Amino acid sequence: MSLVAVGVDHRTAPVDLREALVFDEDRARRFLLGESEALTERLLLSTCNRTELFVVHRRKERDPVPALLELLKRACGVDLSTDTGVARVMRGEDAVRHLFRVACGIESMVLGETQILGQVKDAAELASHCGTAGPLLQRALEAAVRVARKARSETTIGEGAVSVASVAVDVARKMFDDLPQRHALVVGAGETGRLVAQHLKTSGIGTLTVANRTLGRARDVADEVGGDPAGLCGVPPALRDADIVVCSTSAEEPILTYAEMKAAMKARKGRMMLTIDIAVPRDIEEEVGRLEGVFHHDIDALGAIMDRNLANRQKAVPRVEEMVEHAVASFQRWERGLEVVPAIKALRERFDELRREELDRNLKRVPEGARQQAERLTESLLNRILHGPMSRLHRAADEPGRGKDLVAALRELFDIEENKDE
């Protein structure tokens, strides 16, 4: 048995192709439960930047890749077999390594992003629910989640925000421990303002006001994120209550001046405020950063933070790759161990059969108590005889090829026939 992966990601496929291959949960469920000849074990990982199918291939079966491509073609109408270089095909160790790298976030478009681990877990849960995750896939997924968690806890791969909205939330979290009790004011209801407002809301901010020059637009965004709308004239009074202020308008002149902020801070009695200015030209006067209790970040400051965080994540990549390699080696050891399990089981059954035969032949007229004693004695003897060879066989499985050789020898020496499907 070995793992095979087929799919596309942001490195190999353009966005229109990736779009066509995106599976939502229902579609993914239908896909996993759909008819397929030999692909009983399968996992579908579909995010906005990748769609990948992982299947378990048994050695005697046909190459599963054409069947997988056909399945994708039927499900999405995209023929990946004709477009060379778009679909990535990975087999065995490479497929396992790829799964682990994906889970760790080092294959992601935004290096070290945290969402992917949840997406891998969701995919695993769906496959398990659909009954398409067998022992090998399950083991691979467990190992992937384990190495991803280890990478995140022991390295800086997922540390530091790398987008404007997440930097804003990151800094807010370092200032306030009670975001659900805090109030945010987003000035500007364009696309950036909407994204920041959404991110603030999903990060658990308590209340949110969206202010814009045109109140209708402010109302649209406020309705979308569950906030209150306001016109630009509502900004100065809102400063008294707002703990986080994000500005992203296209105004030519600053809409928040030093004097206004000074007055607001006086009214707030020094309560801290985070100001984020994403606009160019800037919406907030730079001098605001000099005020006590005001933590001001303009677009350059945010950019510098993001660059440093990204560099920090980049530094962690070699260490994460090391962890992945270690996990791949460990998985392969386990996989090789599987090869000797049927032989161990068959050998034990063979010896036990012989033991029972001999007991039945020799102890026919012996009283029940004595027979039980003989049962226990022979069983214990058998355990002791087999313990050494079994342990050595397990250890031999760690070395590539050696396990197979020993299994072949056992088969010949003891005339055993193992059931490989188990």
Partner 1 sequence: MESAVSLLTVLVPVLYALTAANSILTFVTRGRGYRKGSLPLLGVTVGFHALLLGLKAGLTARCPIATLLEAVGMMGFALGAVFFVLELRRGSRPTGILILPLAFVLVTIATIFGREPVEVTAALKNPWFSIHSASAVIAVAALAISCVHGIFYLLLYRQIKTHRHGRLFRHLPPLTVLSRMTLLAAVIGWALLLLTILAGYTWAIESGRLADLHGDPLFLVTTAAWLLYTIGLGTRYLVGWRGRFTVYLSVCGFAFLIASLVAATLIWPAMHSVR
Q: By CB under 8 A, name the binding residues for partner 1.
A: 153-154, 159-160, 171, 173-178, 269-272, 289, 292-293, 295, 297, 301, 304-305, 308-309
* Residue whose CB is less far from partner 1, 287 or 352: 287
For residue 348, the SS3 value is helix
Retrieve residue 344's tokens.
């161990």
The per-residue DSSP string of 174-216 comes to HH-S-GGG-EEEEE--SHHHHHHHHHHHHTT-SEEEEEESSHH
Helices 299-362 and 135-154, packing angle to 10 deg: 140
- In the complex with partner 1, which residue's Cβ is closer, 176 or 334? 176
Select 6 or 273, whichever has its Cβ closest to partner 1.
273
Alpha carbon of 76 to those of 25, 28, 85, 219, 271: distances in Å? 14, 11, 18, 38, 54
DSSP states along 306-328:
HHHHHHHHHHHHHHHHHHHHHHH
Shortest distance, position 293 Cβ to partner 1, whole Å: 5
Q: Residue 288 gets which letter from DSSP?
A: G
When the beta carbons of 8 and 147 are compared against partner 1, the nearer one is 147
Is residue 48 among the annotated active site residues? yes
Which residues contact residue 86 at a Cβ distance below 8 angstroms, ignoring those fewer than 6 apart?
A: 8, 12, 13, 17, 80
* Closest separation in Å from C-beta 173 to partner 1: 6
CB of 6 to partner 1, least distance (A): 36
Pair of tokens at residue 261? 């902020």
State the minimum distance, in angstroms, from the CB of residue 223 to partner 1: 31
Nearer to partner 1, 160 or 206 (CB): 160
What string of DSSP letters covers 15-50?
HHHHHHT---HHHHHHHHHS--SS--SEEEEE-SSE
**Looking at 48, 130, 233, 247, which residue is catalytic?**
48
Smallest distance, Å, CB 325 to partner 1? 22
CB half-sphere exposure, 333, CA atoms < 13 A: 13
Q: How far apart are CA 24 and CA 358, in angstroms?
A: 61
Least Å from the CB of residue 270 to partner 1 = 4
Please work out, in degrees rounded to the nearest 5, the angle formed at the alpha carbon of residue 284 by the alpha carbons of 110 and 182: 70
Q: State which residue, 176 or 351, has the beta carbon closest to partner 1.
A: 176
Tell me the closest approach of the beta carbon of residue 323 to partner 1, in angstroms.
Answer: 15
- Beta carbon nearer to partner 1, 41 or 285: 285
Cis peptide, bond prior to residue 281, ω within 30 of zero: yes
Active site residues: 48
